[in-house]
C-alpha cells in the first residue's frame, strides 16, 4: 500500500471549513480510519444582511464572513476531535485543510485581514467574501466580454465565462466600490491559503485555487494590459496575488507554536498546502483516475474529474493542470443551488400540516416529502422545474438566472413540487455530463459525496435521470478525510496523493442502478427541461434577467 516505514501507528488531522461551520477529523494514516471528529459552528455564520460591526445594511447578493470564526475552529474543533479520538497528540504527524471557494479576503503583507484593523472594521469590503457572494456579476460580465474581444486564450479553459464568484470579479468590485480598501490590501488571498498561513506562519498559494479561481494558466495570470483595460487602477492587480505556487499534497511548513497552542497538536508537524473542499474530496472517494466524475452534493454541487488531455468544455468552471491530482488535467463544473433549493422550499413553502405530520412520524420534512414523492410514477405531477434558484454555474454561468416551476395546477401538492425540484437538480447534472462528453471528455463513473447521498430517493432519481450507476463515497466526512490524506502525503507517509487515496480513501461501487422504465420516462421530461433551459438561459427570452433588473431597481430606490 506504499506506506512509508515508521508511519504504521500515526494519525493526521483534516479540517473542512464549510459555509456555516468547520469540521475536524482525526484519521489513521495506515488505513484512513476516522477515529474522532468535531464540528464548530461559526458565530457570525454568513453575513448577508447587515454588517455586525456597524449594523449597516448590506446590498443585495452579498455574503461575507469573519476570519475569527475560522480561528475558532482550530481552537475548538481540533482539541475536541483529538479528545474524542483518545489518540496521544505526539502520534499526530500532520494537518491539512480545505475551504469553500472562492472565499477570498484582503490582507496586509503579514497576513492580517483588513477587517481586523480597527479603522477598516466598518467597511464591508474589508471582509472575506464568501463563495456565494454574487454581487460582482456586472464585473464578471465585463471580464468575459473583454476577454472575448481581446481573444484571450485562457477564457476558453473556463467554458467561455468567468464567474462572479471568483477572485478577479470580486477584486474588481472591491476596487470600484471601495478603492481605499483595495489600495490598502497588499494581499488578495483565498481563505484556504490564509488559514494555512495561520497554521504554519508562511504564505503559500496552492495550484487549485490559483487555477480555478484566479485565472492562473500556463504559468501566469492575465496580463497587466488586460487588467488595465478593465480599469486603469486594476493594472497591477497581479501584484496582490502573484506568489510561487505549491503543489497539492506539498508541505506548506511546520505548525507554529501559536497554532500548536490553539489546536493541542505538536509544534513543527507537517502542514499541507491548502485546497478546495470539492477538489480535496476526490482522493477521499478514490476518484483520482481519468473519467471518474465526483459529484460533491450539499447546498450546491461541484463536479470534479481528472483527464489526461486538455479539452475545452463549454460552461465548465475550469480545467487546470495539476488542479486536482498532479500530472493530470483537473476539470470542474457545478450547480449553484441543490440542497439549498430543497431547504428553501421546506423553510418557506411547506404548509404547517406537513411539518406537523413529519414530527408525529419522527421524520424530517425532507424525509417525509421524499417518501411521499417516491410513491408517484415519473411524470405524474405534470411539473417541470429549472434548478436556478441560486443562479446557474454550469453550463450557462449566469447568476442572474432564477428558478422556475412550470405546470402548477390547483391539484398540485407539496410532494409534487418537492419531487420536481429534486428532478431538476438531476437534470442539471445530466446537462453537465453531456457537455463533457460532447467535448470528448468521457465520464466513465459517477461517484457521489456530500450530505445529500443520505437521501435514497434523490440518489435513485439521479441514477434514473443520468442513466448510469451511482457509486457512493464511504465516508461522511469527505472533504475533511481528503484534507487528512493530503496531510499524510505532506508528512511523508505516502509518496503521492493517489497512493494515499488508495490506502485511506473509501468508496462503495454501483450502489444505485438505473431502472430502464423510469429512465425512459425521464428522457421525455429531460427533453422538456432542455427546451426551457435553452429558452430562458440562452437568450430565447431574457425575462429572468429583466425581472432581476426590476427587482434591483425597486429595492435600491
DSSP 118-165: GGGTT-GGGSPBPTT--TTHHHHHHHHHHHHHHT-GGGGGGTT---TT
pLDDT of amino acid 511 = 98
Q: How many CB atoms lie within 10 A of CB 119?
A: 9
Residue 503 phi/psi, 5-degree rounding, is: -85, -35
With H, G, I as helix, E, B as strand and everything else as coil, classify residue 557: coil
Residue 479 near residue 281, CB atoms below 8 Å = yes
Bridge partners, residue 13, by sequence: 26, 95
Residue 87 near residue 13, CB atoms below 8 Å = no
Name the architecture of domain 11-285+474-509: 2-Layer Sandwich (3.30)
The cell for 355 is 411539518
The cell for 414 is 407539496
The cell for 291 is 473519467
Residue 257 near residue 198, CB atoms below 8 Å = no
Going 324 to 13 to 448 to 403, the CA torsion angle's sign is: negative
The cell for 456 is 435514497
Q: Residue 117 gets which letter from DSSP?
A: S
- At the fourth CATH level, the homologous superfamily of domain 335-473+515-555 is ATPase, nucleotide binding domain (3.30.420.40)
Q: How many CB atoms lie within 10 A of CB 359?
A: 12
CA distance 534 to 33: 46
CA distance 165 to 280: 19
Residue 241 near residue 189, CB atoms below 8 Å = yes
Residue 227 near residue 235, CB atoms below 8 Å = yes
Counting Cα atoms < 13 Å in the Cβ hemisphere of 511 gives 21
Q: Which residue has the cell 466513465?
A: 444
User: Exposed/middle/buried for 519, CB within 10 Å: 0-12, 13-18, 19+?
Assistant: middle
Residue 471 near residue 446, CB atoms below 8 Å = yes
Q: How many CB atoms lie within 10 A of CB 313?
A: 28
Q: 150 Cβ partners below 8 Å, 6+ apart?
A: 226, 229
Encode pLDDT of 255-294 as tens digits: 999 999 999 999 999 999 999 999 999 999 999 999 999 9
Among 187, 134, 146, which residue's Cα sits nearest to residue 401?
134
Residues of the chain falling short of pLDDT 70: 1
Angle at 29 between CA 196 and CA 481, to 5 degrees: 55
Q: 550 Cβ partners below 8 Å, 6+ apart?
A: none
R_g of the chain, CA atoms, integer Å: 23
Say yes or no: do domains 11-285+474-509 and 335-473+515-555 share a fold.
yes
CA distance 308 to 458: 31
- Look at the chain and count its residues: 557
CA distance 433 to 470: 13
Going 44 to 134 to 187 to 296, the CA torsion angle's sign is: positive
Residue 424 near residue 386, CB atoms below 8 Å = yes
The cell for 184 is 490598502
Its pTM stands at: 0.93
CA distance 317 to 155: 10
Residue 274 near residue 207, CB atoms below 8 Å = no
Q: Which residue has the cell 515508521?
A: 6
With H, G, I as helix, E, B as strand and everything else as coil, classify residue 102: coil
CA distance 371 to 101: 33
Helix 478-490 × helix 497-504 angle, to 10°: 130
Give yes or no for a cis peptide into 102 (omega within 30° of 0): yes
CA distance 402 to 414: 20
CA dihedral 287, 293, 294, 296 (to 10 degrees): 170
Question: Domain map of the chain by residue range?
Answer: 11-285+474-509, 335-473+515-555
Amino acid at each position: 500500500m506504499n506506506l512509508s516505514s515508521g508511519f504504521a501507528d500515526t494519525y493526521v488531522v483534516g479540517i473542512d471549513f464549510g459555509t456555516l461551520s468547520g469540521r475536524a477529523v482525526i484519521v489513521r494514516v495506515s488505513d484512513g480510519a476516522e477515529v474522532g471528529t468535531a464540528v464548530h459552528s461559526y458565530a457570525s455564520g454568513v453575513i448577508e444582511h447587515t454588517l455586525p460591526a456597524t449594523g449597516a445594511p448590506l446590498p443585495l447578493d452579498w455574503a461575507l464572513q469573519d476570519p475569527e470564526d475560522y480561528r475558532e475552529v482550530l481552537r475548538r474543533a481540533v482539541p475536541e476531535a483529538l479528545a474524542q479520538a483518545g489518540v496521544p497528540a505526539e502520534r499526530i504527524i500532520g494537518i491539512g485543510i480545505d475551504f469553500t471557494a472562492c472565499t477570498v479576503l484582503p490582507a496586509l503583507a503579514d497576513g492580517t485581514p483588513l477587517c481586523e484593523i480597527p479603522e477598516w472594521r466598518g467597511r464591508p469590503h474589508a471582509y472575506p467574501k464568501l463563495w456565494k457572494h454574487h454581487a460582482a456579476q456586472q464585473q464578471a460580465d465585463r471580464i468575459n466580454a473583454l476577454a472575448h474581444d481581446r481573444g484571450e486564450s485562457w477564457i476558453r479553459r473556463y467554458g467561455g465565462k468567468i464567474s462572479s464568484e471568483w477572485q478577479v470579479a470580486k477584486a474588481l468590485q472591491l476596487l470600484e466600490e471601495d478603492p481605499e480598501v483595495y489600495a490598502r490590501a497588499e494581499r488578495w488571498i483565498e481563505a484556504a491559503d490564509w488559514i494555512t498561513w495561520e497554521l504554519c506562519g508562511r504564505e503559500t498559494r496552492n495550484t487549485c485555487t490559483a487555477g480555478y479561481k484566479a485565472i492562473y494558466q500556463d504559468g501566469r495570470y492575465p496580463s497587466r494590459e488586460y487588467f488595465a483595460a478593465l480599469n486603469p487602477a486594476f493594472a497591477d492587480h497581479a501584484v496582490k496575488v502573484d506568489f510561487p505556487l505549491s503543489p497539492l499534497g506539498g508541505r506548506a511548513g511546520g505548525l507554529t507554536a501559536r497554532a500548536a497552542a490553539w489546536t493541542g497538536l505538536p509544534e513543527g508537524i507537517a502542514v499541507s498546502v491548502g485546497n478546495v473542499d470539492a477538489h480535496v474530496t476526490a482522493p477521499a472517494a478514490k476518484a483520482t483516475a481519468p473519467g471518474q466524475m465526483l459529484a460533491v452534493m450539499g447546498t450546491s454541487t461541484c463536479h470534479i474529474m481528472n483527464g489526461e488531455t486538455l479539452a475545452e468544455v463549454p460552461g465548465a468552471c475550469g480545467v487546470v493542470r495539476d488542479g486536482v491530482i498532479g500530472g493530470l488535467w483537473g476539470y470542474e463544473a457545478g450547480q449553484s443551488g441543490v440542497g439549498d433549493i430543497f431547504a428553501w422550499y421546506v423553510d418557506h413553502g411547506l404548509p404547517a400540516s406537513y411539518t406537523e405530520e413529519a414530527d408525529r412520524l419522527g421524520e424530517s420534512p425532507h424525509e417525509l416529502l421524499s417518501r411521499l414523492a417516491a410513491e408517484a410514477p415519473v411524470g405524474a405531477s405534470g411539473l417541470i422545474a429549472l434548478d436556478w434558484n441560486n443562479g446557474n454555474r454550469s453550463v450557462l454561468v449566469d447568476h442572474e438566472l432564477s428558478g422556475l416551476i412550470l405546470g402548477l395546477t390547483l391539484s398540485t401538492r407539496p410532494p409534487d413540487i418537492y419531487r420536481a425540484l429534486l428532478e431538476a437538480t438531476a437534470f442539471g447534472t445530466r446537462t453537465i455530463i453531456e457537455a463533457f462528453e460532447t467535448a470528448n471528455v468521457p465520464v466513465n463513473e459517477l461517484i457521489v459525496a456530500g450530505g445529500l447521498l443520505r437521501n435514497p430517493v434523490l440518489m435513485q432519481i439521479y441514477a434514473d435521470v443520468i442513466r448510469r450507476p451511482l457509486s457512493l463515497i464511504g465516508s461522511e466526512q469527505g472533504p475533511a478525510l481528503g484534507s487528512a490524506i493530503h496531510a499524510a502525503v505532506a508528512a511523508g507517509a505516502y509518496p503521492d496523493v493517489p497512493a494515499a487515496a488508495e490506502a485511506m480513501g473509501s468508496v462503495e461501487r454501483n450502489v444505485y442502478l438505473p431502472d430502464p422504465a423510469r429512465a425512459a420516462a425521464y428522457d421525455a421530461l429531460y427533453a422538456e427541461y432542455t427546451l426551457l433551459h435553452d429558452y430562458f438561459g440562452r437568450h430565447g427570452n431574457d425575462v429572468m434577467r429583466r425581472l432581476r433588473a426590476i427587482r434591483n431597481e425597486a429595492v435600491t430606490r
